[in-house]
Each structure stands twice: as structure tokens, then as C-alpha cells.
Amino acid sequence: MKKIIYLSIIGSILFIVIWGLFPTKARKLNSMWRATLNSQQGFITHESTLQEGDSTSKVFVEYEYETRRDGFYYKRTTYNFEGNGNRKIVDIFESFENGRKLAFNGGSPEDVPSDVSIPTGNNLKSIIGGIWEELNMTNVKNINVEKGEEETVYHIEFIQRNKDSEAGTLNSNILFLFTKRTMVVTYSEKEKRIKKIDFLRIGLKNSAEYIPVSDHDILTFY
């Protein structure tokens, strides 16, 4: 019994030591992300590229946001790409008073009709938070740091599971099986904030055809 207690104490101490030493970079990055989400005003661009085999689709979105006295406001401008590569505005959406009033394409803010269901974005996390996942010992394989005077760049490699799974054995609710995930975070030492997040996922489409896929998201903060 004493031996079990002794081993439990040693195990707890080792866990605390490992927890305190290993994920220092991960906790620092998580803290940076939470600080970013607490930003009261700013401008963000979000580039998203999804490739399935030879088929590629791109989305470019601009966000302007501000926390006001009457609630959280954001303006979202969505673009698509023409054949010559130029961006063209698809729509402009504005959310006022934590989503209680909406405006489309420069129109006047109006109350949301009772029979209309629109997902509300009442903070920065609700509109762009899905790009990030909390970094910890169970999902991070390695973090390399490039330290510079003006900016520090963090290269994150995630742990991948089920690398050898056959596409046909996957859960039918899973659309893609990502076999590689990497994230590059650029932090401005001068401004003390994240400036850019580059998140790349590579894998297979959930089908017997083994279609190669990639999902590339780039968030740039201004």
C-alpha cells in the first residue's frame, strides 16, 4: 500500500514537472491566441483553399470588427475569383448589436425577422475562432521557433492518428481524413500580437477512390 502511495506521489510530481516544462511553447501560443480574441477592434483577411484531386476552390473574406457600446459589430466582405485571378465581391454582410440587427450589401441595419435564423457572431471567436485548436501534449508533436528581432515564427506539427486507416473503414460522417497538419504562427515582437496564422491540412477524401485533398487557411491580422 505504501509503495502504491509512493509511486502515485512520484507519478504526480513527474506529471507536474512534465506539464510545466513540455507545453511551455504551446501554452504561450494559446495565450497569444486568447489575447488576439480579446482585441477590441481590427481588420482580418481570411484566405481558404480547398483542393480535392484536380478540383480547387478558393474563398477570400475580409472582416472588419469592433466592440462598441451597443455590442459587437462586424462587417464581412466575401469574394470569389474570376478566370483571370482577380477577386470579385460576392456579398457584404454587417452584424450590429450582437447580431440583433443586420445589413446586406450596404443597406440600412434592420431587425432580424422572427422567422429568419442567422448564426450570430457576437465576438471575434465566433466568426474566426474555428481556425485554432488548443495546443496541448496530446495533439502537438513538435514546435520549432525562429526568433527574430521584429517577429517570431512558430512552426507547429500536429500528431496524426489513423494514418494507415483504409478510406472505406472510416466513419461515414467524416468527410476528410487528414494525415498531416501543420500550422505556422507569426508573432510581431514590436506590436506584441499575432500577425498571421497559416494552417495546412493534407489527407484523403472519405471514399474508396482515395482522392487527395488539402485544406489551407490563412488568417492575416491588421
Least confident interval from 55-59, 123-127, 205-209: 205-209
Instruction: Give φ, ψ of 9 to 5 degrees.
Output: -65, -45
At 71 the pLDDT is: 93
At 172 the pLDDT is: 61
Give the pLDDT band of residue 167 (cuts 50, 70, 90).
very low
* CB burial of residue 27 (10 Å; 0-12, 13-18, 19+): middle
Does the pLDDT value for residue 221 go beyond 60? Answer: yes
What's the average model confidence in pLDDT over 194-205?
94
CA gap 120, 122 in Å, rounded: 6
Least confident interval from 132-136, 148-152, 192-196, 205-209: 205-209
Which residues are bridge partners to 212 per DSSP?
204
Burial of 73-88, coded b for 16+ CB within 10 Å and e otherwise, reads bbbbbebeeeeeeeee
